[in-house]
Amino acid sequence: MPDDLDYRAAMSTATLEPRPAPAGMANAAPPPPPGLRIDRLTLRHGARTIFRDLDLLVAGGSFVVLLGASGVGKSSLLKIAAGLDTPTAGQVSATDNQPLAGRIAYMGQQDLLYPWLTVLDNVMLGARLRGEARNRDRALHLLDRVGLRDRAGALPSQLSGGMRQRAALARTLYEDRPFVLMDEPFSALDTLTRTRVQDLAAELLVGRTVLMITHDPFEACRLGHHLVVMSGEPATLGAPITVSGAVPRAPDDPELLRTQGRLMRLLTGAGPAA
């Protein structure tokens, strides 16, 4: 089925500048991971232009959140970035000029767990598809972190929707790729579980280049270093909104609340985003 093929492909395969690493030191920290560059990206379906001339440069190690109305083209953009779809024009590349194939972990809107595999085997599925050795200890550690270690031997049909989404997150993190692309990864979780998994994702994705879609301004403000709103027809990208402070931000963080209000004005057209 198409989603299954999408996942197999992903497993096999605004300017936001990073801070430079110290120079001239024998034991200097490694350089930041590569950034993701989107250049003049255009997508047409028949006579309809979904988006046109999109440009975005995400610095290595940044967590960027993309928001916008349903149907505006966010998921299409993310699939092109993941190599799962082809644009009409433009390109997506890494700032280190190395191929993106094999360096992206992708988590779509559906969990895409294989129903005949246990939770543990689903977490290690990418390695299995590539014919690589599987790291059971790492997989169990990630399941422990998302609260599913005791369900490692269960089948997906024995899990709730929220549990399945957490298992999919563990599978994404298991891939250990420098680029992580996520399409509403926490949408199936209840509020309390969602908050805990947001905290976990913020911790485990440090040092990776992340582009995430959400419809939730609160979630965007909790997790994102930079927020980008996609709107219009054909869609374009607004100027990135930078949110100060470390992530994940507390629910009552003043900067989070201020930026959430600004986002709501942008998304609803209720007034200027002051």
Q: Has this prediction a pTM greater than 0.85?
A: no
What residue segments make up the domains of the chain, in order of their start?
2-14+33-114+178-268
Does the domain at residues 2-14+33-114+178-268 carry the CATH identifier 3.40.190.10? no
pLDDT in tens, 152-168: 999 999 998 888 988 99
pLDDT for position 15:
39
* Residue scoring higher pLDDT (20 or 134): 134
pLDDT for position 21:
44
CB neighbourhood size of 269 (10 A)? 7
- Of residues 138, 142, 10, the one with CA closest to residue 85: 10
- Contact call for residues 130 and 11 (beta carbons, < 8 A): yes
pLDDT for position 81:
96
Model confidence at 270, pLDDT cuts 50, 70, 90, reads low
pLDDT for position 30:
67
Cα distance between residue 244 and residue 2, in whole Å: 39
pLDDT in tens, 35-88: 999 999 999 999 999 999 999 999 999 999 999 999 999 999 999 999 999 999
Cα distance between residue 111 and residue 134, in whole Å: 20
pLDDT in tens, 205-245: 999 999 999 999 999 999 999 999 999 999 999 999 999 98
- In 243-256, which positions are buried (b, 16+ CB within 10 angstroms) versus exposed (e)? beeebbbeeebeeb
